[in-house]
Amino acid sequence: MTHPEILISAGEASSDMYAARLATALTKRTGAHLFGMGGPRMREAGVELVVDCSEIAVVGIFEVLKRLPNVWRAWRRMEQEAARRSPKLGILLDSPGFNLGMGRRLRRQGIPLVYFISPQVWAWRPGRVKIIKRLVKRMLVIFPFEEEFYSRAGVPVDFVGHPLADTVHATMTRAEFAARHSLDPARPILALLPGSRPSELAYHMPVILEACVRLARDLDPQLVLAAAPGVSRQRLASWTRPGLKIHTVEGATYDALAAADVAIVSSGTATVEAALLGTPMVVIYRVSRLSALVGRRMIRTPFFAMANLIAGRQIVPELIQEGFTAPALESEVRRLLVSDAARQQMKQDLGGVRAKLGSGGAIERAAGIIGGLLENMG
């Protein structure tokens, strides 16, 4: 019996994690051999990487232009490998800037496509749903409101739940985390999650540190910087302020969030992780002025933070672009640090968000649907 070939394409750290888990589940279920684009977790899961996703990962409309030669080379390599191997199925994860172009090339070869982890077309450039409808055989979505969005557009869709519902758990108590990292559990802990990309660190860290300097004057919270996967302690060490003590932790993001009274979180997957842990947070984000100017003309959603989108109302503060300033950040964090009632209300609201993300098993459900598609193809 020959095992099917499956092409899989994930363009950044979060989708690399989901793709790795999906690849493991599919291999067990179907015996398939997977190849394509991804990162270290996919490689560890046995996916044969044709392209490393670090070659194309970038944020911002105009920042992407600098990487276009890399994108074209990656498209070409993936297209050539697909033509050589004739996979029975292609799986695209998020990263629409790369994957929609990749999808067109694969469909020209007659390769059926599944899209797992929807690009945020419901938030900006919603016209791209027409492209998705032409390209994909099935959408597998992880947020409940996405199912309705795609159904209205006539795209075959399944809501499978959020994969993080299975994996986001603290491994130690606040007291244990404090003891391990020389913190005082009786004093407030402020977790810092500034993002993983160089551009995110460059835009976010100066403002975060200035706000922390202001907070240190009277509240003096203990600062815990949770390094994102792939971001070295040495790289983070360049972001310092005299007299500001920061405890940097690696590989302990969930424990840091669970132990924190409040977190400052870059908009993205980390906000979902914080929501699942019930950690009160302030969501931040900034890109270049040019990217923001163009982006404003495209965005069609009232919120940026995923917790707010899922809740259908603002339950966590969002400081985006010009609104992301040190005084504004200080004010929002201060409000949460000094008010137990404010923190408890946010925890309650985040509990409602967690309930909407499913009870677990998203990856297995996705693998089951994909396995069924493969069986029907014969």
pLDDT-based confidence at 60, cuts 50/70/90? very low
**b/e burial code for range 291-320 (CB count within 10 A of at least 16 → b):** bbeebeeeeeeebbbbbbbbbeeebbbbbb
Q: Calculate mean pLDDT across residues 296-315.
A: 79
- Indicate whether 297 pLDDT > 70: no
**Which residue, chain included where needed, has tokens 């707010």?**
308
287 and 330 inside one domain:
yes
φ/ψ of 193, rounded to 5, equals -125, 85
Strand order in the sheet with 262-266: 246-250, 222-227, 189-193, 262-266, 281-285, 318-320
| pLDDT, greater one: 121 or 17 | 17
Residues 82 and 205 in one domain: no
Evaluate if residue 58 carries a pLDDT over 60.
no
Instruction: Mention every residue, 6+ apart, whose C-beta is less than 8 A from residue 216.
Output: 243, 244
Cα(101)–Cα(112) distance, integer angstroms: 15
Lowest average pLDDT, out of 43-57, 171-185, 229-243, 246-260, goes to: 229-243
pLDDT (0 to 100) of residue 95? 85
Asked if 18 and 363 count as a contact pair (C-beta separation under 8 A), the reply is yes
For 178, the domain range is 167-356
* pLDDT of 61: 44
Identify the band that residue 66 occupies on the pLDDT scale cut at 50, 70 and 90: low
For residues 175 and 254, membership in a common domain is answered with yes
Per the structure block, which two tokens stand in for 303? 């919120």
Largest CA distance in the chain: 69
% the chain with pLDDT above 70: 91
How far, in Å, CA of 280 to CA of 304, rounded?
16
Query: Is residue 147 domain-shared with residue 214, that is, in the same domain?
Result: no
CA-to-CA distance for 284 and 192, rounded, in angstroms? 11
* Per-residue model confidence (pLDDT) at position 122: 66
Residues 291 and 324 in one domain: yes
Q: Tally the domains of the chain.
A: 2
Q: Is the predicted pLDDT of residue 291 greater than 80, yes or no?
A: no
pLDDT of residue 190: 98
Q: Do 348 and 372 belong to one domain?
A: no
Of the candidates 128, 153, 154, 155, the residue with the CA atom closest to the CA atom of residue 139: 155
Identify the burial level of 258 via C-beta atoms within 10 angstroms of its C-beta, where 0-12 means exposed, 13-18 middle and 19 or more buried. buried
**Phi-psi label, residue 312: left if phi above 0, alpha if psi -120 to 50, beta otherwise:** left
What is the arithmetic mean of pLDDT over 296-316?
Answer: 80
Q: Helices 326-338 & 198-216, crossing angle to 10 degrees? A: 60
User: What pLDDT is attached to residue 304?
Assistant: 82
- pLDDT(289) > 70: no
Side-chain-side CA neighbours of residue 136 (13 Å): 32
DSSP state of 220: -
| Residue 359, phi then psi, degrees to nearest 5 | -100, 10
* 9 and 118 housed in the same domain: yes
CATH assignment at residue 310:
3.40.50.2000
Is the same domain home to 157 and 179? no
> What token pair was written down for 173?
């108590």
* pLDDT score recorded for residue 242: 85
Could you tell me which residues come within 8 angstroms of residue 302 by beta carbon, excluding any fewer than 6 positions away?
A: none
pLDDT exceeds 80 at position 295: no
Same domain, 109 and 228: no
Q: What is the mean pLDDT of residues 252-271?
A: 95
Looking at the fold, whether 306 and 318 belong to one and the same domain comes out as yes
- Residue 55 shares a structural domain with residue 16: yes
Q: What is the mean pLDDT of residues 29-49?
A: 96
Q: Which helix (H) or strand (E) holds 201?
A: helix 198-216
- Report whether 22 contacts 126 (CB < 8 A): no
How many whole angstroms separate alpha carbon 174 and alpha carbon 185?
Answer: 7
Q: Which residues, at least 6 apart from 339, have a Cβ–Cβ distance to it below 8 Å?
A: none
209 and 143 assigned to the same domain: no
